[in-house]
Structure 1
């Protein structure tokens, strides 16, 4: 029988995964979620006969989900299934180029050579570099805490430290990609991966070129039931090992005594705990739940630049587009100008890069017959008080014009349903400070290594998981943050 109690704040994907890992370690685990549903950003929207995955729509490295099932002695396939994508994404450029990103590396190289003239050798060199960065950083940065002494006593860590210069942190991602590729379209293609953690390729270190390896080598997948199925299956798994979920249950305070976590307050009631884990954005954890203890706050970390945010239109479309796939990108004609708008001017370019996800391509019942469910997203600055209503209206019109130019269809006449998610609602619904999607940005050489640790250095028995802390944002890294916490908690 469990002898110790762990309370988890937030039922995001990392909170759920942490709950499973602690339950397996014989903790009595309860999860408190402010919303009426689990998943955080990884949830869904249903409206007018359409279903949309509300947040993350790209699924990579499914082994980290499977690991949670095998950890509990269960067969993942009894709970959760997915299929590998043969086409990762369709890319559309303003000059008329359409590029199909095949999962097969040789087919992708042939496609790039045919459409851009870029030599296969350039792709091979880039892929080898991406793989090398992964091999150096994976065991140290992704799978381990950077704040534990034993991490640095491992043989793999020592090997990685000796190869640290090879992670390419001293030049920007854009500069590195210019050295790899002659064709500007391919530079833009690989610069885009900076947006996977809400960063700027013209500022972020080339270390982020590790991301294409995660997608190309390990593949992109589609979960049966859509992205929401990840959340649903893990909640079911958590409940099967005794985890209790409490929804509509905002935590008011983390109670500290003699620099040690004693429990939480919720609805004016004190709930004692041996361990408290916050899956809430680290900024709100300190500013709201630990506001009584300003001396214990890591002020430098809380002042770091936040990642970008997103503006998402969920559109029901009364037409089928054969030229589109599950994932589609419509590139800006001037990528650097677009990022200047986001990071310097704190507004939205009139020619934004558009990400379009259509889950009904793989899950037809997500839209009525003859219709498609369009998840239309652009990268935008985090919320610092902009006139978002005005920006949204302008962005909607610019997106429609761009899609008309490239697809030749008047999208405005095809929209039968619309919902919107912007930085303000991202913050209010998911407690992500300023609506930033990935916590702090990675726009400086070592920012990715300076994220908040998974355990408080000043408060005993207080742990952190999720996209705002180490190792970063996105489903795989959020799940790895849960793994680090699970290994750290005794």
Structure 2
């Protein structure tokens, strides 16, 4: 039966939930506090003509993203041009670099050249990773995770040992490869999951398959093209979007949401899907209606925050790829600063994205745009002097790698984004950038629940609930929750 549904937030999970709920025949209204859709994946253009994606920049698992559009009778090609990056990226070490090629056959050769026998080991690793990817993405991540009984399917039971849920990712990688550069290359993808490879289940070797085998892609015009496409799909299904609309209160009586206070006015709905920050959403409720208290959140392991710099450079930077990882220093030292000592790192690792290497339309002529990202512990003080200090460190290392001199003098636009900005713009708990870490104790049923235990018509989507952080999981999260709302018996709030 048709329901009037409110969705709070228009990040990837909110856009997905809006599209699927509207397709199911509901009257869907999305309330977004910003003037555009996308949440952390927003985009901005400077007066000089530089275009910057503010958040995600790695287009991995293209089959998962394609399946979203297929559910509505579309293809990604109906909305944007998707190109495969060749090479996929550079990884910079203290004694040189490793270039990851587009073709798997070439990647296998690279492994063999680096360590004798590693080519055959890569085949073994990827066969197992493919199984995890196909089983995980088909059987595992689409569960609402109300309880463990959902995972008693024949496919999961049959292959439980092959999923390697109880083996750490680091230990798993070390079974296959000895060379430190190969280990670093294989461990890199799980950094997106927000924890040390020592604490991530080996199940997530599926990330290696979803990235290195299926390839690294880029939508021409920027990652925001995916946001715009999903927005169009949701509207085509009948969803209505309300921008510059902030949800200020969620009011409940007798175990159900009765109204939302939005921009000073009360609105009634039959169900609410909160794709906003889970912790923040619960602060909009009276304490007695919340799923979790403050102590619960303080005990969670959060994925990192980030220091981000958006830079416009007045000339082309030689020798820089679309994606470059600067890993000249020890990964574990940086990780300990995030999860152990919780301080700014002395010898940081960082990531540089230069989309103008692929897409000349995102910069003025003869210019480059840089997106620099350095993972950080949540809750750190991020004053301007500290941000500038680390910008100087990153620029020096880019200069060393590329041979360009006085890079700072060639910058005609710069903007930083850090812990306090994630709090101000997204109400992100502790200023986290990626949600909860996908540790074993925070996987599946052990994540915050998608349904409010006390309010039957309040649901949660996004990176703080199932299936977890990342663009494809967020899109799947919206689909899961939309299905749960549709399945729920109809009860009007009127």
* TM-score normalised by L of structure 1: 0.92
CA RMSD of aligned residues (A): 2.2
Moved more, 295-304 or 336-345: 295-304
**Counterpart for residue 399 of structure 2:** 404
* Change over 3 Å in CA distance of 1:380–1:295 after alignment to 2: closer
1:358 to 348, 354, 362: 354
Gaps of 5+ in 1: none
Question: For 2:263 and 2:371, how far apart are their aligned partners in 1?
Answer: 37
SS of 1:59's equivalent in the other structure is: coil
**Counterpart for residue 19 of structure 1:** 18
1:350–1:398 contact (8 Å) kept in structure 2:
no
Question: For 2:475 and 2:452, how far apart are their aligned partners in 1?
Answer: 19
**Counterpart for residue 242 of structure 1:** 238
- Cα deviation, residue 390, structure 1: 4.2
Pairing 1:416-431 to 2, within 5 Å after superposition: 416-431=412-427
- Cα deviation, residue 279, structure 1: 0.5
**Counterpart for residue 51 of structure 1:** 51
SS of 1:109's equivalent in the other structure is: helix
Question: For 1:178 and 1:76, how far apart are their aligned partners in 2?
Answer: 37
| 1:228 and 2:224 correspond | yes
Moved more, 445-454 or 302-311: 445-454
**Counterpart for residue 84 of structure 1:** 84
Pairing 1:50-449 to 2, within 5 Å after superposition: 50-74=50-74, 76-96=76-96, 98-115=97-114, 119-147=118-146, 151-152=150-151, 157-286=153-282, 288-293=283-288, 296-297=291-292, 301-303=296-298, 304-383=300-379, 385-410=380-405, 411-442=407-438, 444-449=439-444
Question: For 2:131 and 2:417, how far apart are their aligned partners in 1?
Answer: 37
1:45–1:51 contact (8 Å) kept in structure 2:
yes
* Change over 3 Å in CA distance of 1:86–1:387 after alignment to 2: closer
* Change over 3 Å in CA distance of 1:342–1:149 after alignment to 2: closer
1:424–1:435 contact (8 Å) kept in structure 2:
yes
1:451 to 443, 447, 457: 447
Question: For 1:428 and 1:260, how far apart are their aligned partners in 2?
Answer: 29
Question: For 2:201 and 2:256, how far apart are their aligned partners in 1?
Answer: 37
| 1:32 and 2:31 correspond | yes
**Counterpart for residue 489 of structure 2:** none
SS of 1:146's equivalent in the other structure is: coil
Question: For 2:64 and 2:169, how far apart are their aligned partners in 1?
Answer: 27
Deviations 1:98-137 (A, max 9, x none): 2221231111111233345562122122212322332443
Question: For 2:213 and 2:185, how far apart are their aligned partners in 1?
Answer: 17
SS of 1:180's equivalent in the other structure is: coil
SS of 1:147's equivalent in the other structure is: coil
Question: For 2:433 and 2:318, how far apart are their aligned partners in 1?
Answer: 31
1:456–1:463 contact (8 Å) kept in structure 2:
yes
* Change over 3 Å in CA distance of 1:418–1:118 after alignment to 2: farther
* TM-score normalised by L of structure 2: 0.91
* Change over 3 Å in CA distance of 1:82–1:408 after alignment to 2: same
2:387–2:416 contact (8 Å) kept in structure 1:
no
**Counterpart for residue 470 of structure 1:** 466
1:301–1:452 contact (8 Å) kept in structure 2:
no
* Change over 3 Å in CA distance of 1:149–1:169 after alignment to 2: closer
Question: For 2:414 and 2:115, how far apart are their aligned partners in 1?
Answer: 36
1:311–1:377 contact (8 Å) kept in structure 2:
yes
* Change over 3 Å in CA distance of 1:65–1:136 after alignment to 2: closer
1:99–1:115 contact (8 Å) kept in structure 2:
no
Question: For 1:297 and 1:232, how far apart are their aligned partners in 2?
Answer: 34
1:317–1:414 contact (8 Å) kept in structure 2:
yes
- Cα deviation, residue 313, structure 1: 0.8
Question: For 1:268 and 1:150, how far apart are their aligned partners in 2?
Answer: 43
Deviations 1:61-80 (A, max 9, x none): 33444444443344543333
Question: For 2:15 and 2:154, how far apart are their aligned partners in 1?
Answer: 32
SS of 1:446's equivalent in the other structure is: helix
* Change over 3 Å in CA distance of 1:179–1:244 after alignment to 2: same
Question: For 1:73 and 1:121, how far apart are their aligned partners in 2?
Answer: 40
- Cα deviation, residue 358, structure 1: 1.1
2:382–2:419 contact (8 Å) kept in structure 1:
no
